[in-house]
Amino acid sequence: MTSPAAAVTLEQLADDQATVWLVARLAAAGGGDFGENVARPLAVSAMCRSLGLDLSLAPQLDGWYRVIAASVEDGGDGRAVSGAAAEAMIGNAAWSLVREPGLIRRVRADPELISRVVDESTRLFPAAASVHRYTTRAVELAGVRLPSGAFVDVSLLAANRDPQVFDHSDRFDVTRTNLRDQLTFARGPHMCIGIGLARHEAQVALQAMLDVGGQVRLGHDAVGPHGHTFVRPRRLSVVVDG
């Protein structure tokens, strides 16, 4: 699957319609790598704009977070960085939607389902596979005694698939009544402060995909979400017909 040839300009990323333009560009080319051509530039430009940084810094920031993300994934013991996590979340949501043609038809008929697609994709495929915490006091957890100050690596992948909380927990189901009873964005004082922006980015990206019209499907070389530190599609190639 080839990628669109035209380069993304800073002016296009600075526009409020950046997401629409990125998806339209991909559709005009008949498809391509959604991660590289939509999710990544959208995540980086959104972070720049949110932090009040000049978009001319976007390529430099992109380079930095590629290096950081790679080193964290290789080491397997670090924390997610904002750009990588945002790109992963958008990619996972797109994967969840596009891999099921029936779901695309349902969401086109009822756009209110977009937020549910995003929430269910973050449950099954949390962008950061785990979070790190330290116990503030001695505690016993599932029969294991932990002293005060103990390091705890919480698997979000496992927690979000707890069968005691989610029926048929491995199934993608946008009709769940407890979609947000998940730990993807953590809870309490350490809850992700970018939760609203992250959800909004993913929802806008999915809406833009649906608005291009025609049939949107996964490319033959697409590889789904997985990863030790960052959970994201290894290759999110899409094809747009018609």
Structure confidence by residue, pLDDT tens digits, 46-88: 878 777 888 778 778 778 777 766 666 654 444 444 456 677 8
Task: Read off the pTM.
Answer: 0.80
pLDDT, averaged across the chain? 83
Q: Please tell me the distance from the alpha carbon of residue 21 to that of residue 10, in angstroms, as a whole number.
A: 12
Determine, yes or no, domain membership for 143.
Answer: no
Tokens of 170: 């491995």
| Higher pLDDT, residue 132 or 4 | 132
Determine, yes or no, domain membership for 3.
Answer: no
Least confident of 4-18, 82-96, 148-162, 213-227: 4-18
Determine, yes or no, domain membership for 150.
Answer: no
| Higher pLDDT, residue 213 or 90 | 90
CATH number at residue 226: 1.10.630.10
Task: Name which of 90, 7, 76, 79 is nearest 47 in CA terms.
Answer: 90
Determine, yes or no, domain membership for 28.
Answer: yes
Determine, yes or no, domain membership for 158.
Answer: no
Determine, yes or no, domain membership for 70.
Answer: yes
Confidence grade of residue 37 (pLDDT, cut at 50, 70, 90)? confident
Sorted by sequence, the CB contacts under 8 Å of residue 201 that are 6+ apart come out as 19, 42, 43, 46, 86, 89, 90
Sorted by sequence, the CB contacts under 8 Å of residue 124 that are 6+ apart come out as 96, 160, 161, 170, 172
* Residue-number span of the structural domain to which 65 is assigned: 10-128+169-241
* DSSP β-bridge partners for residue 125: none
Determine, yes or no, domain membership for 31.
Answer: yes
Domain count, the chain: 1
Q: Which long-range contacts (CB under 8 A, 24 or more apart) does 173-181 make?
A: 173/120, 174/103, 174/113, 174/116, 174/117, 174/120, 175/116, 176/120, 179/116, 179/119, 179/120, 179/123, 180/119
Tokens of 234: 């290894």
Confidence grade of residue 1 (pLDDT, cut at 50, 70, 90)? very low
Determine, yes or no, domain membership for 95.
Answer: yes
Q: Please tell me the distance from the alpha carbon of residue 193 to that of residue 33, in angstroms, as a whole number.
A: 29
Contact 26, 6 (CB under 8 A): no
